[in-house]
Amino acid sequence: MKKDFLTLLDLTPEELQALLKRADEFKSGKDSSACPLIGKSIGLLFNKTSTRTRISFQTGIYQLGAQAIYINTNDLQLGRGESIEDTARVLSRYLHCIVIRTYEHDIINTLAQNSTIPIVNGLTDLHHPCQALADILTIQEKKGRLKGVRMAYIGDGNNVVNSLIEAASLTGIDLTIACPRGYEPDRTIYDNARSKGSKVKILTSPDEAAKDADVLYTDVWISMGQEKEIERKKKKFEGYQINSRLVSLAKPDAIVMHCLPAHRGEEITDEVIDSAQSVVLDQAENRLHTQKALLEMLVR
C-alpha cells in the first residue's frame, strides 16, 4: 500500500522518530554512498514559487540516486483543463512519487486519491508539513529534546503554524500562538490537537506568548496567494513582530526560527534574524536531510 505525506499527521510518532534519526544519519554523512532510490523518477509539480523546497528536494533526490522532474503545473495539460484525476492516473504510470506545491489543500487530496504512487505535500494554503519536519529536527538539535519545549509562534495563523500545531501533537512541544483576532490557525486542526490533549493555545498578546519561551517562531504576514490583502493585513499585524524587545522576554538561550523567505522589517527585524540566537539557516539546511529521510521512507 502506498503512503502519502499530505499533513504531518500522516506520520505516527514512531515513524517521525525514525525519520529524525535517519535525517541525522544523512546529515552526519553516514551512508553517504547509499543511493536507495536509484533508477526512480520523482515529479516536482509546483504552482507557486519556491527556493528552499524546490532546490532541497531536487538536490536530495539526486543524492538518493533518483532523478527529479521539475515542472510548473501551468506547463502541464492541467493548466489547460485536464482533470487532476486523469493527471494523477497518468503520472502514476511514469513516476515513483510526486511532490506538489499548490493552493487549495483539496487539490492534493484529489491527487492522492487518484494516484497509485506516494504524494508529498510541498506546501498548500492549509499545511506545510515538510517545513515542520525540518523545524522539529532543528529544535531537537538545538534544545536536545522536544517534549515540553516551550515554543511561541507570533504572527499569522497560516499553513506553517497549522503544521506546527500537528508537530506539537506528535512531539509534546508546548505551543503558544499569538495572532490578531480573525487570523487564528485552522479551527479543525486546532480542535483536533486540543482533543488529543496537546499543549496548544491561542492568545492575542505576543508578549504573553513570548514570556519564558525556548523557541520564538514567525512567518510572513502575507502568504503566497494573499497579495491582495497586503495593506489590510499589515495594519492588523502591527505589534506582531519578533524584535529585540520581544526576544528579551523569552529565555536567555531561546532560539529564533523562521521558515523563510522573510519580510525583514515586518514580522522580524534584521537585528534578530541576523543574531546569534537565529537558527533560520539550520532550519533551511534541515529541509534537505529530513526530506531525504521522508522520500526513502515513502518511495519503494
Q: Any idea which residues carry the catalytic annotation?
A: 101, 128, 131, 219, 259, 287
What long-range pairs does 168-171 form, CB within 8 A, spacing at least 24? 168/193, 168/198, 168/199, 168/200, 169/9, 169/193, 169/196, 169/198, 169/200, 170/8, 170/9, 170/11, 170/13, 170/16, 170/136, 171/13, 171/16, 171/136, 171/146, 171/147
Q: Which of 18, 260, 277, 297 binds ligand CP (CB under 6 A)?
A: 260
Q: If we measure between CA atoms, which residue out of 241, 250, 256 comes closest to residue 155?
A: 241
Cα–Cα dist 41/213, whole Å: 42
CB closer to ligand CP, 131 vs 269: 131
Instruction: Please state, in angstroms and rounded to a whole number, the distance separating the CA atoms of residues 293 and 17.
Output: 11
Q: Judged by CB under 6 A, does residue 138 bind ligand CP?
A: no
Residue 146 · residue 117 · CB < 8 Å: no
Tell me if 240 sits within 8 A of 220, measured CB to CB: no
- Answer yes or no whether residue 53 interacts with ligand CP by CB under 6 A: yes
170 C-beta neighbours (distance < 10 Å), count: 22
- Contact by Cβ (8 Å): 112, 91: no
Residue 220 near which of ligand CP, ligand NVA, none (CB within 5-8 Å, type-dependent): ligand NVA
CA 98 vs CA 57, 93, 252, 294, 295: distances in Å: 11, 12, 42, 13, 10
Residue number with CB closer to ligand CP (119 or 123): 123
Closer to ligand CP by Cβ: residue 14 or 227:
227
x-or-dash pattern for ligand NVA, window 182-221, by CB under 6 A? -------------------------------------xx-
Per-position x/- string for 145-164, each x denoting binding to ligand NVA as judged by CB under 6 A, each - no binding: -------------xxx----
SS3 300: coil
User: Minimum distance from CB of 93 to ligand CP (Å)?
Assistant: 28
Is 291 near ligand NVA (CB under 6 A)?
Answer: no
Range in contact with ligand CP (rule: CB under 6 A) among 48-56, 225-233, 266-274, 290-298: 48-56
* Cβ closest to ligand NVA, residue 115 vs residue 223: 223
- For the segment 214-233, give every residue that binds ligand NVA (CB under 6 A): 219-220, 223-224
Q: Which is nearer to ligand NVA, 122 or 206 (CB)?
A: 122
Least distance CB 179 / ligand NVA (angstroms): 13
Using CB under 6 A as the criterion, which residues of the chain lie in contact with ligand CP when the complex forms?
Answer: 50-53, 123, 131, 259-261
Using CB under 6 A as the criterion, which residues of the chain lie in contact with ligand NVA when the complex forms?
Answer: 158-160, 219-220, 223-224, 259
